Amino acid sequence: MSNLSDIGFPTSGEKDINDMISHVLELTETIRCPQGFYLKFADASGAEIWLQGNFEQELLGFNPHFAGKSRRRVGLTKAIERESSPLDGGFYAWANPADENVETSGEYPFIFDVPDFHLNQISQFPHLCEIQLTALASNDFKVFADEKEYAASQSGELKYASKSFAPNGLLEFDAADESVDLSAVRPIGTLSGEIKEFELRTNQLSGEKFYWFLIDTFGGEIDVAADVKLISNEPKIGGIVSGQFWLSGRIGSADGSSA
């Protein structure tokens, strides 16, 4: 399983990835920024691929995303540039701040990557905004019929509520320490939440199916995209999902435009 298979692009090796890139390249919208170009592929299913190119017309990398329905209020406190590519990046954020005093009024900190990072011209922090946040599922993804079944599945000493969020990527770091290199922090989180909506979708380009969920969790709504192979029982409204996820977000207004 991979972040690509979560949005209907199953890949088993470099050849599959190269074939996928060749197909989406023919259908991309080119968006220029000072660091190069983003080439956006947007499928009717909500699946997105954001390719990256430099001014020498070389491809530098790509990131998957899912354009969902979730909207949540966050306070951005730091921009994070990644070493993997000059067009990669993300933000250190606090969930659901009550006011501009982000770090004392937010519910928890977390890090998320942004596929169009350099299109967001944010010059001053903290920055209060609305984001659409997608969680791409991993192999430990589970669907439970209800809270009772979810609670019964937790056998360890540490038990999570049915609406919980743990910013795994940050647990070994103190973000308040200015010497910490946040570029090394992965944008992952362990969460559980209630299913508000779900749908089995078909990636129109690949023909492959994947599941989309709108989840209510601690800190607000989140979209979840998951490979069908991860799901062994039929989801239902009011059920609970849990697992560890890669977090990808876009900043902007409710129509999905960038800030």
Question: Is 39 part of a structural domain of the chain?
Answer: yes
Q: Is residue 19 part of a domain?
A: yes
Give the 3-state secondary structure of the chain: CCCCHHHCCCCCCHHHHHHHHHHHHCCCEEEEECCEEEEEEECCCCEEEEEEECCCCCEEEEEEEECCCCCEEEEEEEEEECCCCCCCEEEEEEECCCCCCHHHHCCCEEEEECCCHHHCCCCCCCEEEEEEEEEEECCCCEEECCHHHHHHCCCCCCCCCCCEEECHHHCCCCCCCCCCCHHHCCCEEEEEEEEEEEEEEECCCCCCEEEEEEEEECCEEEEEEEEHHHCCCCCCCCCEEEEEEEEEEEEECCCCCEC
Task: Note the pLDDT of residue 171.
Answer: 75
Q: Is residue 187 part of a domain?
A: no
Q: In the prediction, which pLDDT does 184 show?
A: 83
Residues in the chain with pLDDT values less than 70: 1, 172-179, 253-259
The structure's pTM equals 0.93
Split into its structural domains, the chain has a count of 1
Q: Does residue 54 form part of some domain?
A: yes
In a domain, 18, yes or no: yes
- 223, part of any domain: no
92 in any annotated domain: no
Domain range spanning residue 55?
5-66
Residue 227 lies in a domain: no
